[in-house]
Structure 1
Amino acid sequence: PKTAGLSRPHTRRSEEAQTFQQFSTPIPLGLVAATAAAITPADRVLEPSAGTGLLAILGEIAGASLVLNELAETRAGLLSSLFPAVPVTRFDAAQIDDHLDPGAVPSVVLMNPPFSVMANVEGRVADAAWRHIASALARLAPGGRLVTITGASFAPDNPA
């Protein structure tokens, strides 16, 4: 889309972005994920690794309430500016279910987790995406919907 052409290329990233394996979700991919989630105004959407807020913006456009979390300080600050009425927590999303307020139970989880890095762990972590997804799934309301953007290595037909 025309809007996607206006966004900055993803070739230059800060040290923080490299450390936390942060990639801003491309607009077309975010639109596909939000469409798959079928978000309505009755939903509460959790974005456990909210980054720069693209997926959260799509939830807000759909009229849902938001639960936002972002570990990285710079991106959490950006989210606070974009969504001043929404508290932004700064937990490790791989343990999001353990840390969120018990009343924060989403009907939708919309996420683009890190594929192979974890907070406070050096090097590649093969099951990083799985840990993020499992914790978010544990937090999801019964009958809720979880839509995640992952790498090809997370496909169900990929050997472990």
Structure 2
Amino acid sequence: MKLSDGVEQAIHSVTMLAGLESDAVLSAASLAEFHGVSTSYLLKHLQALSGAGILATVPGPRGGYRLARAPRSISLLDIVLAVEGPAPAFRCNEIRQRGPNPLPARYFSAPCGINAAMLRAEKAYRAELARVTVADLITAVAEADDGGIVARGCAFLDLHQRKAAGRGQPQPIGD
């Protein structure tokens, strides 16, 4: 199974946004700069995350993105489904019923064994992604960090986060 680059970019962006001050936002351009990726490509995924209720947006020149939910309530599955969509990775097209000299329908009354195995694997994969939250990722990085990773992110946020002003100000999401 191959996920798009957008999934990696989305997960890293969400974890970075978890470090914002409660009244701050970060622009798509800043997120793209920090991760060294295309702003236009990242923007597409940020919009998908916003549409899925993972990110909140503040419009305008001082606007940007922030988490719409607490990091402990955002799973990796939430992010993957927002970016990739809900369709399973494997889609059975019943090719066993094609080709020359097709067999009678009675041979195909049971579900395709290949499809069943792939759907079981997808279920296990999704269950594992649902188990891991953004808060879990942040904790794991903090436990393994000698201070350099956190310092880099904090320094960048100190320079680039924007205080949301006016009516579009996002509401606090809790811890």
Radius of gyration: which is bigger? Answer: 2
Q: Which has the higher helix share?
A: 2
Structure with more relative contact order (C-alpha pairs < 8 Å, separation 6 or more) = 2
